[in-house]
Structure 1
């Protein structure tokens, strides 16, 4: 890939393109076709790249603050956020032939943006870059121009294919790349390899602290036209106030832990306005000095920067994968800051992000390893400090079986190969005719096997393979993933020798121990990759062929469920009887991104489900049993339970295994025998029931007494002051006229008492009426001869309204609300109303005659109700002016002169009479109570309230 960096003049704020920096041509011969345009700059190491289409969440493309001194956090940031950008589809809508720049998908742009902010967060500068829509549009035109012309220029001539003014503007304001686009271009611009990128200008612009907005334009490779990218980096903020950064300098690789795939050959140290002319760099590894090659100091690309190459590495190398964490102490000396020399010392540790560090926080699930089946079970796990969310994983597992041999097509494998050839090739298999073929069509060709496995300490990955012609930059590998396919690492690899002959002339069986991955969730894939020179074509002589892939002595996931628990550190699931499960959880450090590797596995196998519900049971009914006799049922045997079940009884008692009978609740076990018993009815042809309940299942035992063989006499009578009739549920009783019938022994007879109008039924009496009430219906069981009497009476009911009592002269009635008493026909009853204090008798109702407070009921011949109404007393006061007197009626209480005030019953109408003495004359009524009176000597007053009136007389 070829890069050109946007340049900035130091003398002012005018931006202009710098001199085009071209890289030298690739040396060496091309084998069997054209090699890549330039392989010297590799944006990442394909051995750990995911082919899975993870997506960068649109809501979380930056704003991160990372502490790279925490190895686990730096490792998580790479495996979750960095790798999530890879392989996002470009969805380009443009066209080279019509010079249509088109657009790319929003997801694609988000992936590019997240990669830029990843590097800024790691470097400790504000990682909240956003894309400007105008910058994107113009950068898209610039990228099309670079691709359409297979060239790079910050100042493209107007004669170029697909030239536009906006594209030319973007070319002068952008980092531009040719041969890669998108996140790969970002990686290349951060690495800044190649002999002409000694100033690492691309990196400096991408990491410039003041920058707030950028833009991206991307075009894919189409035929002979290479992919291209333009990242707009000049947003007008280059000279604005420098924001706070994690350190006062910007180093790349950064201070702290750095995943080796993002470590460049060129290291850099930036400090604003510093003078690096005479600065030096020294590095040590494990206390031993290592040589350093300084690059020429070049200002004008963001902040002033010193660049060097450790170990005198060449500009086109990639940083090697370390076998263990490797720390370098860096000292930058004689940096002139504000006119004074300063020195800076920091440590850079390069590590493999696929290797967990010592003491990393791990998620460990705990809970019942033998839960009951079909019952919800709760499991918990420990929190991890930097987790935003968690995922729980429940897997049903079984012994691993099956072989991937391509004989039935792809067998649900994930085909990660180029569309120019088919994954399954016929004619070269070792077990049949088919084989999986990975040809060197792109940088990474893969076939991913679908199952998830759990290796044991003696598990083995076994496969047959053969590698054809391969350069020393082509590698065939079998890979393993510990995080569901987000990242991969080699467990077997074979790199070509560039010998000119096929690397393997025949298939051979490889056996790879998986003991290092025991009790982990893993997936497998085969990969064929190249990092530079490669043989071209898709024939088997240049391909990596794989067959008969199998995993031995392991478990495989047969069903799975993943739960996002948010911030909760617990989850639930309901196990099924007879199943074995593996449970785990993992951290999601950044919402929307892939989770990290799963934690340790907790194995769970269901215990037998608790079953307290027995099989159905029943008792045999017994008939024609003796009356009033203890009857015992047949024995039933309890079955279908595996623990003690509750037992209870109603209407009798039970016995377990021949023990004592009881009616108390208890427990019964599988195989126990149970009987119930009760006392039979005292009546003929009558049933008695006993219900037994075991674990919610019930059964009823019934016994029925024998029928009677004779009859008994049933006699009914009537009595009382009233009248009525008695009928029955059998033909014959209709008393009135027929009051006696013979009835079969044991039969139950219903008798019905019906009073005539004016009479009331008041109850049953007699030896046969012991079970009857005051209801008009009486049920009689004929266990013997029985006589019953129905009482019909004439009833006088006395009721009061208001406060007061009613009493009768015979003392039978004495009540304050309502009471009743039976009286003989034609009786005379005298009742007296006695008001409560403050009340008076207002009226009687229902009387034959009323005298004062006395009510007389004469010739009593039908039930009736008498009501006395009491009302409060209110005062009536009379005054006299002049000479005369006032009397009243119908109550002769007022006699004024002498008695001028009396309490009257509310509602009563009182007549007042004014009588002048001889020689006087009555002139009228006055006062509040006289409103309805005239000059007449008579005044009628309704006592709705207390009232006062004055009678006025002239003097004699």
Structure 2
């Protein structure tokens, strides 16, 4: 086996923000992979607010911020670390472009920077796009000189780089790695040979450069050009080593791909074959197997059936891979490994708290737990069970206990009278879910809209959820679902029947009532409302800000349920093993016959994971 699994930590736990290169991760340590995902991958999210592009779409290539370039560098080195190759690669802003005497004339000036050329090429890509026909003559590694914005340096950058249409920055790096073909905006003939991925993971590469423009609509989408060619001085010679994607060990399922690959310097995969088995030992029927030496190191690529192209899991899902028949000097003739796809938001380490099930109101109780491996911090959540009925109404915004997951261009709580002729749901205000726009540049589609009840609900026998609603302008392609989670939001199940739009031209004249049974659970559940679009036209707030688009909800309540009211959260060191419960640490006086709950939360990679199982405690005299 040529690919080792580094044992060093991916960062210094507790030190944030993280760097942009020099990472390592123990792929055989599930908690280390979880922490690596949250500390490093997630650190480059939100890049759209940091790009600070200074250009325009009439010819000014512009520049991007140093923080944004750092986001790209961090995302690139995240994937390199996860794949076991050197992670000191720079996304440089001062490296001269690569000149090849075989390139067509005229040559760009040798002192031109890679980043400058890439920025020029990124703008050229979008300026030649015709949204009416969907055609773009600039989408080639040999763009003709009659294109808008063409220049020798722009030609050089696309000839020697990866390019993405419809994605930019760290988002483009993700697409290069997954080699998505779900959209004509991001696919190319190189996808099924994973050429972009192989350049990104080239073990000998040390200097990249990025060119980006953020786009402004579906008609002027974002673009990226990642300069991947290396000058002789930028090559860091490496011994032959297998580089697999997805990588051996624990691997975040979000990064899974339709195309799996194995590459190696000096390898000959001409006669190599691939066998892949699922966790039950059943052979996975591959769609196609390809071999190629055109991009980076030689590689064998296999295309998965739909059943293995999974992007979400709750339980860890493993696949065994065996590649045999490899040849080449110093290269083993076979390579076998296991990939375990994981949900990076699910912590499997026990967070159980042990101790007495009853506690005297005038005494203290000692409770113990085993800190999960690698924990940067721990929290004990002390909550009291309450049977007090509540109703989530939109009338007084400051009293609302919800988590808003809606777009920034409209408020979650609205006065329905603002929409002339629409009428009320119950009172003057309601919760509104509508689509903010018909095309979001980051999700490349219509974004789901959500709000979550900020309550931990204990469902008893016969527990139900009810609320009032009115559909505004809500097409048949628009759906509201109510979902419940007993896993702190890691997984969700649908509650009751979805509410679907019934007319493309009318809104509800009357108020309707929703009622559905809540799923039985030994743990407290969370409830959220999610509004999403399927294929078809939708109404958006952007297009009709003065019209009642979407759906309006009010008077949300549960029946035959209790609530866990959090009274205090105590933060402990990551190596803590015990907690003392008394009136001070509970955050309230302990009273005879009260029922309390203790739950443990763990911090990994600067992220607090959902709390573990409840330790129920009854207060005695």
Match of 1:178 among 165, 181, 185: 165
Q: CA separation in 2, counterparts of 1:105 and 1:155?
A: 29
Match of 2:556 among 549, 560, 566: 549
Structure 1 residue 227 displacement after superposition: 1.7
Deviations 1:748-770 (A, max 9, x none): xxxxxxxxxxxxxxxxxxxxxxx
> Given the alignment of the two structures, is residue 577 of structure 1 paired with residue 595 of structure 2, yes or no?
no
Match of 1:594 among 607, 611, 615: 607
Task: Out of 430-439 and 155-164, give the one that drifted further.
Answer: 155-164
**Equivalent residue number for residue 125 of structure 2:** 146
The structure where helix makes up a greater share of residues is 2
Structure 1 residue 554 displacement after superposition: 3.1
Structure 1 residue 178 displacement after superposition: 1.6
**Equivalent residue number for residue 406 of structure 1:** 394
Secondary structure in 1 matching 2:335: strand
Structure 1 residue 226 displacement after superposition: 0.7
Match of 1:284 among 277, 288, 303: 277
2:465 and 2:518 in contact (8 A); partners too: yes
Match of 2:18 among 50, 59, 79: 59
Task: Give runs of aligned pairs for residues 536-935 of structure 1, distance below 5 A.
Answer: 537-538=540-541, 543=550, 545-552=552-559, 553-557=561-565, 559-561=567-569, 563=571, 565-570=573-578, 574-575=585-586, 576-578=588-590, 582-590=597-605, 593-603=606-616
Secondary structure in 2 matching 1:347: strand
With a CA cutoff of 8 Å and minimum separation of 6, indicate the structure with the bigger relative contact order. Answer: 2
**Equivalent residue number for residue 363 of structure 1:** 351
Q: CA separation in 1, counterparts of 2:119 and 2:496?
A: 39
Structure 1 residue 264 displacement after superposition: 1.1
- Structure 2 portions without partners, runs of 5+: 1-13, 96-113, 130-135, 182-187, 417-421, 441-445
**Equivalent residue number for residue 117 of structure 1:** 77
**Equivalent residue number for residue 101 of structure 2:** none
> Given the alignment of the two structures, is residue 207 of structure 1 paired with residue 201 of structure 2, yes or no?
yes
2:455 and 2:526 in contact (8 A); partners too: yes
1:354 and 1:489 in contact (8 A); partners too: no
CA 1:308–1:599 in structure 2 vs 1: closer, same or farther (change >3 Å)? Answer: same
Structure-2-length-normalised TM-score: 0.70
Structure 1 residue 372 displacement after superposition: 8.2
**Equivalent residue number for residue 256 of structure 2:** 263
**Equivalent residue number for residue 475 of structure 2:** 469
Secondary structure in 2 matching 1:337: coil
Structure 1 residue 192 displacement after superposition: 0.7
Q: CA separation in 1, counterparts of 2:15 and 2:466?
A: 35
CA 1:432–1:177 in structure 2 vs 1: closer, same or farther (change >3 Å)? Answer: same
Secondary structure in 1 matching 2:193: coil
> Given the alignment of the two structures, is residue 519 of structure 1 paired with residue 540 of structure 2, yes or no?
no
**Equivalent residue number for residue 237 of structure 2:** 241
Task: Give runs of aligned pairs for residues 162-173 of structure 1, distance below 5 A.
Answer: 169-173=156-160
Deviations 1:783-803 (A, max 9, x none): xxxxxxxxxxxxxxxxxxxxx
Match of 1:417 among 406, 420, 427: 406
2:480 and 2:500 in contact (8 A); partners too: no
Q: CA separation in 1, counterparts of 2:73 and 2:31?
A: 24
Q: CA separation in 2, counterparts of 1:374 and 1:112?
A: 57
Q: CA separation in 2, counterparts of 1:330 and 1:200?
A: 18
Deviations 1:673-692 (A, max 9, x none): xxxxxxxxxxxxxxxxxxxx
2:485 and 2:493 in contact (8 A); partners too: no
Q: CA separation in 2, counterparts of 1:156 and 1:339?
A: 39
1:470 and 1:503 in contact (8 A); partners too: no
Secondary structure in 1 matching 2:267: coil
2:317 and 2:342 in contact (8 A); partners too: yes
2:277 and 2:320 in contact (8 A); partners too: yes
Match of 1:227 among 208, 222, 225: 222
Structure 1 residue 200 displacement after superposition: 0.7
Structure 1 residue 204 displacement after superposition: 1.2
Q: CA separation in 2, counterparts of 1:597 and 1:141?
A: 45
Q: CA separation in 2, counterparts of 1:102 and 1:378?
A: 61
Secondary structure in 2 matching 1:336: coil
The structure where strand makes up a greater share of residues is 1
Structure 1 residue 126 displacement after superposition: 3.4
CA 1:323–1:97 in structure 2 vs 1: closer, same or farther (change >3 Å)? Answer: closer
CA 1:422–1:95 in structure 2 vs 1: closer, same or farther (change >3 Å)? Answer: farther
Q: CA separation in 1, counterparts of 2:213 and 2:563?
A: 45
2:496 and 2:515 in contact (8 A); partners too: no
Q: CA separation in 2, counterparts of 1:428 and 1:453?
A: 32
Considering only aligned residues, what root-mean-square deviation do their CA atoms show, in Å? 4.6
**Equivalent residue number for residue 333 of structure 2:** 342
Q: CA separation in 2, counterparts of 1:101 and 1:56?
A: 36
**Equivalent residue number for residue 439 of structure 1:** 435
1:68 and 1:74 in contact (8 A); partners too: yes
Question: Larger Cα Rg: Structure 1 or Structure 2?
Answer: 1
Q: CA separation in 2, counterparts of 1:120 and 1:437?
A: 40
Secondary structure in 2 matching 1:198: helix
Structure 1 residue 232 displacement after superposition: 3.6
CA 1:542–1:288 in structure 2 vs 1: closer, same or farther (change >3 Å)? Answer: farther
2:55 and 2:63 in contact (8 A); partners too: no
Task: Out of 268-277 and 384-393, give the one that drifted further.
Answer: 384-393
1:475 and 1:528 in contact (8 A); partners too: yes
**Equivalent residue number for residue 191 of structure 1:** 178
1:586 and 1:599 in contact (8 A); partners too: yes
- Structure 1 portions without partners, runs of 5+: 1-54, 609-956
1:209 and 1:243 in contact (8 A); partners too: no
Deviations 1:402-458 (A, max 9, x none): 333434458464443334544445236643463422226243233333624153455
2:273 and 2:325 in contact (8 A); partners too: yes
Q: CA separation in 2, counterparts of 1:235 and 1:488?
A: 44
Secondary structure in 2 matching 1:469: coil
**Equivalent residue number for residue 99 of structure 2:** none
2:375 and 2:574 in contact (8 A); partners too: no
1:396 and 1:560 in contact (8 A); partners too: no
Secondary structure in 2 matching 1:509: strand
